[in-house]
Every structure is written in structure tokens, then in C-alpha cells.
Structure 1
Amino acid sequence: MAFSLFSAKNRIINLVLNDHSIRFVELKQSKPPAAQKWNERFLPPGIITDGKIVDIDTLTNIIEQCIDEWKINRRSIRFLVPDPLVIIRKVSIPEDIQDDEIKGYLYLELGSSIHLPFEEPVFDYYPLQGNGKTKDLLLFAAPEQYVMAYAQLFASLKLTPVAADISPLSLYRLYHYLELAGEKEVLFTVQFDLTSVNLCIFEESVPLVMRQFALPFNIDNWEIKPDLMGFIEYKYIGDSEELVIQFEDIFKEINKLLDFYRYSLSNNEKKDVTKFLLNGDHPMITAIYDEMKERFEVPIERITFDSDAKGSVPANLLLSLGLALKEVQ
């Protein structure tokens, strides 16, 4: 599943931009594939806000510097559509719509019988098991103007966008690639980053519901500097009670989504989530993991990925790595 704006090419750079960083991973063409190069750059607040490009000139200058430093000029790229822009929705269409007519049907019905909180969406869909009377689909959509703002920015810098994806699918792709997925599993992914949290529930490989939450971020409360390896190191120097309140709010949202799945999405089967998958770049991620173990009876998984002699790919780059695995069979 990906937004159908581009066609596939080889030797692709995998870029992930959010409100506070730019990251990339390049795979070495080997079997099994290995991460060959990776890096990241901090973005000051106000350049990207809630996934939308706010300061295009500054972002352009920063990406130009990254292209030069990372030696990725004139490359094809995949990128993640920022989480705040994406919605996932289950829709039903008439059973007699043929498979090759679904895309056109959705184009016609978006804005009329299928309502989204924005106009002019870019979208993709995934077929679900129908009931014999309708075809059920999982619709992935985002505002085209904001997605294309990224694509046009990249193109202006001689980077060629060939695919766009969403973060829960990239994370699940890596999870599945590492053979961590179980049969009939209901997986609850928690992507806990510095400025946002993404929650998504998968039945086997299908993401049924996604929720996105912004985290308050005051740069004055953080000490930000490169570590010995050149990666960004965040140290919180503000009032710790503020973080406790933020985390408490997210744990409440996790409980709400657990209940929503249990009582509304599981087709009256009263199924439960069988595992959490925790990932993210938040510097308190270990404390978050420990707190989740205390609060929830569901097992919690974390991912590590070793890449030949270079050692483990840093945890904050695993989304980029999952995106890089998109075309790997």
C-alpha cells in the first residue's frame, strides 16, 4: 500500500521528515538487504508544523545542505507522508463494482457519499473481506496539496520522488521482515517521537485504525547536540512533571483505543490486542517502555536491526529502514 503518485525505480534514498528532524537510510543491494548509509538532521521548531511545510525557504536550504553532506544529489527517493496528514477509514462500496473500476468509483464518490475532512485527497485503498452485499475497503487518504508540497520541494532540489508511504506500514514492514509477526496477531503499534505519537492497530498485516497526537515541544526545555557518532542527542532540562503529564495523556489514549478495538472494531468477537510494538525517537523511550510494562498486561516488543559490520541501525532510523524495505521481496 502506498499513495499512487509515483512509479518505482532503483537505488532509492528513503527520507523521513517530521516536525523536528530529517532522516535517511540507503540499503545495500544484497540478500538479505543491509543498511549501507544513514544520517539525520535536527529541524528547529516552526519549519514543519503538524506535518505541513510552514517555512519553505529554510527547509529548502537545510535539505540542500543535507543533499551535499550526505552525497545523495540527483537520487530517486521514497518519503513518508507525515502522520498528522493521514487518515485511515473503512468504506463500503457496491458489490458489483469491478476491481479495475474501484479507483475510478472512489474518485467519483469522495466528497459525496464518502466524506473526508479535506478536499482533493491523494489516496490508496486495500480490499477487505466483504459481506456478500458490499465490498469493504480500507481507505488511506491525505490532502493532496500538502503531499505534493513535499514532492515538488524534492523535485526542485533534483530529487525524484518515486513512492510515498505512511509510518505504521513502514514500521510493520520491518517488523514482518524480521519475522516477529505471529499468526492471527492483533498488533498495537506505538510510534513515540519527540513531538508526536502515532497509535495504530493491525489485524495481522492490515492497519484497521490509526490515531495521531501532537506532543507539546518547548525547545527551551531541551538540550540538543550531536553525540560522538554525529547523531542527535536530546536531554530534557525542563520540569519533569510536564513530561509526566504528557505521558499520562498518551497512556489514556492507548487505553481508549484498546477499548475501541475491543468493543467496536472486533466484529462483536470481543478480541483483544495481543502485542504492543513500541518504537520512536523520544529520548525517554526506555522509561516509556518500562511504564507500559507496568500498566498493560499485553507483551511489548521493541525492534533492533543489525547491519553487517556497521552495527545496529539507530532506533530513531527504523522508520526509514522500514520504508527502504518497501520494494524488497
Structure 2
Amino acid sequence: MSTVVALDIGSSAIAGVELKTARERVTLAKAAVEPLPPGLVNDGEILRPDELADEIKRFWRTARFSGKKVRLGVANQRVVVRTIELPALEDEAERRAAVEFEAAEQIPIPPEQTVVDAQPVLRFTTDAGERERHVVVAAHRDMVEGLAATVRRAGLHPTGIDLEAFAILRALLPPPPVIDEGSADTPAVAVCHVGAEVTNMIVAVDRRCHFTRLVGFGGSHLTKAVAERTGLTPEESEVVKTACGLLGEPLEGWDPETVAEVRHALALGARPLVREIGRSLDYYRSQGFSRPIERLVLSGGTSLCTGIDRYLQQGLGIPVEIGDPRRQLDEAGDLTAEVAARAAVAVGLALDAPEAS
């Protein structure tokens, strides 16, 4: 039996997941989500590494995760994602060299200051021969090294750092059937993971990322909208945001006027999210390699807000469903929907490890 632990370190919370693999069955061993003090992380960038290291150490000890090895994710404005096309190459070393050369040409960061990774997404035939499309990820080296150093300061050993968009796809979408993988007829699926400060917009085909974009909107913006309209504290607004939601029957024991005000604030506050998702999907559709978008899958803490899926579906004009990372596990134990929604990135990071594949 092998064990994989992954951490998702966000602006307002830290999530951890431990998976065990035995006889090709992936089982959840532990999952935990705890709030972080404000000001340690902002938009995916670590601001106070010493204090964050202390919080990670405490979180790891409290959750009682196994060992010291951990997988991590990155998603911030210092990560650049590009789609490039190259002649199809069978030799892995040649392919890697070609990707790095093309990335250096297209990504506006000096190569010596970046960590580059790539994921092939499609092979296709043109008049000039076979070609491949790759999604290339370039992260500022100092940002990646800073994340690793902070985790080491907490007494842990990073064994892998991945783009959060890739992790989200593994957590929310099933692996494609072998007979369908790479089919030109396979539609695209949009995935929207709403974090506390930013939203990760992704479009995938066969679970492979074809487009990703970070949007400066998060669940905290909805909390602020509720607080401003109702006069509740941020803590109270966070609670009623999820409890009331945008739609649903009147809540027993709640003042109807308060519920109406909360839902009105959420409806107005969510308009920028609809607008930014729409812009992202329109941009993807404008690309020559785009596919019809079949549906949108929503995750993150904001997906717990009742009615948000129907609100987005009405605004976007495509089916919207709530994602559940528990579906990618053979055994999820007593993992609740609330924890699963907030730990989706960590689940996907853990699923990426060779031991969990």
C-alpha cells in the first residue's frame, strides 16, 4: 500500500488530503480544511513565509497526516500558461527540447528565471504532416522555490509541484475511456473553481487542459457584497451566504426580509463572475482548435451556495453542475460535501502522484 499527501494553500484556508492506493483502488485516508490567518497568502503568493510555515506545521500535526512528503499546487499571476503547436516528435528528449525552445520564444520571462512544464493535449494531421498541441506552463522560479522553502521550513518534504488547473481537472472529471481518448468528436467541458480570492477557469477535452485563465473574483467578493447590503459582520456574512444561497424555500427561523436581502446581494455580487466566465468561454470559442462546450462544472467553497449552479446556467446559457471530487475515489469514507468542495485541488494533486494513478 502506498500513501500520498497533498496540500492546497490558499488565501483564507489550507486543505490537505491523504490518499492510499492498494490493488489499484484509491481510498481517502484523511482530509482536513482549516482557516488561515489573513495576510499570510494573497492571490496565491506567500507574503509571510515564517508565519505560514508555523500554520502548516500545526495543521499537519493536528490532521495527523502520514510521513513528511507532500505534493503542492500553484495558481497565481506569476504563472504563465500558453498553447503552442509543434511538429509531432516521438523522442521524449527532442520533444522536451522543442517545447522549451518554443516556450522561451513565446513566454515573456527570461528562461533562467522560470520553471517550465508542458502537457500534450492533441495530435493532429495537416498538409505539412503530423503536429502536436501542448499546454506550456512557466512559473517564476523564485515563486516556486519560495513555496518549497516555506513547506520545508514546516518540516515537510515537497515531492511535486503542479499547476492547480491540472489538479482540478483530475479531481472533477473522470479519465476518458481509452476508445474515446483523442477523438475529434469529443466535446469540451468547462470547469470553474471559485477560491476565496480568485477563480480558476479551465476548458478541457478528455480531461486535458486546452485553456486556463485566472479571474480576479472569489467567494470573499460575495461575502463582502452580503456584508455591505445587510450590515452583518464578515464572519456572519460568510455563514449566511452559504445558509441562504441564491434560491430555495424560505429558511425556517430566519427573518424573510434578511433572507431576501442576502439573496439579492448574492445575485448582484455574482454578476461579475457570470461576466468573467462568459468572457473566458468566448475567448476559448474564438480559437481555431475550440470544441463545442458541453457543460460547466463548478467547484470550490462557493459551489456550496444553494442555487449558484442555476444562477450561472441562466446567465451563461449552458448546463451547469456541481462537481464532486469524491467521485474520483474508490472509497471516500465519511468525507462531507462541504470538505470535498473546499479540498478539490488537494484531491487532484494527490491523484497526480504515480502511487495514486
TM-score range, shorter chain: 0.7 to 0.9
Give TM-score scaled by structure 2 length. 0.74
Aligned to 1:63: 56
Aligned to 2:334: 310
What is the DSSP-based 3-state SS (H/G/I as helix, E as strand, rest coil) of the residue aligned with 2:306? helix
Give TM-score scaled by structure 1 length. 0.80
Match of 2:349 among 287, 300, 323: 323
Aligned to 1:5: none
What is the DSSP-based 3-state SS (H/G/I as helix, E as strand, rest coil) of the residue aligned with 1:249? helix
1:186: Cα distance to partner?
Answer: 0.6
Aligned to 1:137: 134
Deviations 1:59-99 (A, max 9, x none): 12211211221234751101111244433211234667953
Aligned to 1:168: 165
Deviations 1:283-303 (A, max 9, x none): 763332120132233222223
* Unpaired stretches in structure 2, ≥5 consecutive residues: 181-185, 228-232, 242-257
Work out whether 1:17 is the aligned partner of 2:9: yes
What is the DSSP-based 3-state SS (H/G/I as helix, E as strand, rest coil) of the residue aligned with 1:33? strand
1:67 aligned partner, one-letter code: W
Task: Identify if the C-alpha distance between structure 1 residues 100 and 178 changes in structure 2 by more than 3 Å, giving closer, same or farther.
Answer: closer
The farther-off stretch of 26-35 and 193-202 is 26-35
| 1: CA distance, partners of 2:8 / 2:270 | 24
Task: Identify if the C-alpha distance between structure 1 residues 312 and 40 changes in structure 2 by more than 3 Å, giving closer, same or farther.
Answer: closer
What is the DSSP-based 3-state SS (H/G/I as helix, E as strand, rest coil) of the residue aligned with 1:310? coil
Of Structure 1 and Structure 2, the greater helix share is in 2
Aligned to 1:213: 215
Aligned to 1:198: 200
Task: Identify if the C-alpha distance between structure 1 residues 178 and 262 changes in structure 2 by more than 3 Å, giving closer, same or farther.
Answer: closer
Task: Identify if the C-alpha distance between structure 1 residues 101 and 248 changes in structure 2 by more than 3 Å, giving closer, same or farther.
Answer: same
Aligned to 2:30: 37
What is the DSSP-based 3-state SS (H/G/I as helix, E as strand, rest coil) of the residue aligned with 1:171? helix
2:20 aligned partner, one-letter code: K
Contact 2:116 2:136 in 1 (8 A): yes
Deviations 1:168-204 (A, max 9, x none): 2222213344879996131000111222211111122
Aligned to 2:309: 289
Contact 1:16 1:319 in 2 (8 A): yes
Q: Map 1:107-186 to 2 at 5 A.
A: 107-108=100-101, 110-111=103-104, 113-116=105-108, 120-127=113-120, 128-130=122-124, 131=126, 132=129, 135-177=132-174, 184-186=186-188
What is the DSSP-based 3-state SS (H/G/I as helix, E as strand, rest coil) of the residue aligned with 1:168? helix
Contact 2:80 2:138 in 1 (8 A): yes
| 2: CA distance, partners of 1:133 / 1:98 | 14
1:319 aligned partner, one-letter code: V
1:26 aligned partner, one-letter code: E
Contact 1:276 1:301 in 2 (8 A): yes
* Unpaired stretches in structure 1, ≥5 consecutive residues: 1-8, 226-232
Contact 1:81 1:164 in 2 (8 A): yes
Count of residue pairs brought into register by the alignment: 309
The farther-off stretch of 187-196 and 132-141 is 132-141
Aligned to 1:75: 68
| 2: CA distance, partners of 1:15 / 1:94 | 37
Aligned to 1:251: 274
Structure label with greater radius of gyration: 2
Contact 1:278 1:300 in 2 (8 A): yes
The farther-off stretch of 80-89 and 202-211 is 80-89
1:264: Cα distance to partner?
Answer: 2.3
| 2: CA distance, partners of 1:163 / 1:86 | 16
Contact 2:2 2:21 in 1 (8 A): no
1:104: Cα distance to partner?
Answer: 3.2
The farther-off stretch of 127-136 and 34-43 is 127-136
Deviations 1:137-196 (A, max 9, x none): 221221111111111111222211111122222222133448799961310001112222
